[in-house]
Amino acid sequence: MKPQKSVIYRQIPRPDPALLARAAEFGVADLHGALGLVAGRMSLMSPAMNPIAPGQKLCGPAITAWNFPGDNLAIHIALDTAQVGDVLVFTNGGGHQGALWGDVACGFAVKKGVAGAVVHGACRDTDAIRDLGFPVWSTHVSVEQPEKRGPAAVNVPVVADGVLVEPGDIVCGDADGVVVIPLALLAATVAGAEARAANEVKIRARIAAGELPLDILGIRNTIETLGIEQIEGTWQDGQG
């Protein structure tokens, strides 16, 4: 095996634009659910990954950057490779040492048409970034000064907030969190999200007509199948 070293890949695999546009119509909850129990959980970042402003949303292919702790050289290289609509995904392992993202780089990202940034590490200049209207999710906020010396790796597979992100994977974020859709699963995920959305329309109509979610979702049958005891009384009634 060759020793690992700093590397920059300037291209990423890219999704079908029409398919990406369909994915962007859905929220993180529908896309996460459509991925299924296993892939959905593996692809969902933790609640530590927070939006810096309300109302943010993004959906686009990942440009990835691995940064040495305390350093953000890779994010500037990644930004140089990004195209319109791309999502920047940065990690330094998740530490707060050395802010990975700030308003100066953000201003250039806005000018370039980048869709947003997901930062497994620290972001700073948050008020200025909000004023720019640039969507950012991060696990930390810290003004700690970063170095720009490397080592660095750009557009390689990274693990960001516990999720494997390969260059070109579809990163979607909203107020509920961030999910990463593997490029190979995009078509199936979009189809699943469309089916879920259509089913929810029917469920809401049935609720509006007077049916109970307990019946619509089959919860009564589940209670019976599991043999869960139901007692007509309070918990204190059985004490004494």
CA distances from 174 to 3, 5, 56, 127, 152 (A): 39, 35, 6, 19, 28
> Is pTM, for the whole model, over 0.75?
yes
Identify residue 147 by its one-letter amino acid code. E
- pLDDT attached to residue 206: 87
Please check whether residue 215 lies inside any domain of the structure.
no
Task: Report how far residue 67's alpha carbon sits from residue 203's, in angstroms, rounded to the nearest whole number.
Answer: 46
- pLDDT tens digit sequence for 118-158: 999 999 999 999 999 999 999 999 998 888 988 999 999 99
Task: Report how far residue 119's alpha carbon sits from residue 78's, in angstroms, rounded to the nearest whole number.
Answer: 13
- pLDDT attached to residue 1: 41
Name the pLDDT band for 4 (thresholds 50, 70, 90). Answer: low
Q: Would the pLDDT of 116 be above 60? A: yes
Please check whether residue 225 lies inside any domain of the structure.
no
Q: Would the pLDDT of 2 be above 60? A: no
Please check whether residue 166 lies inside any domain of the structure.
yes
Please check whether residue 125 lies inside any domain of the structure.
yes
Q: What is the CATH number of the domain that holds 154?
A: 3.50.30.40
Please check whether residue 199 lies inside any domain of the structure.
no
Q: Would the pLDDT of 240 be above 80? A: no
Helices (H) and strands (E) in the chain, counts: 9, 11
Q: Which of 187, 192, 95 is nearest to 144 (CA)?
A: 95
Q: Would the pLDDT of 42 be above 60? A: yes
Q: How many domains does the chain have?
A: 1
Please check whether residue 16 lies inside any domain of the structure.
yes
Please check whether residue 22 lies inside any domain of the structure.
yes
Range of the domain at 57: 7-193
Please check whether residue 98 lies inside any domain of the structure.
yes
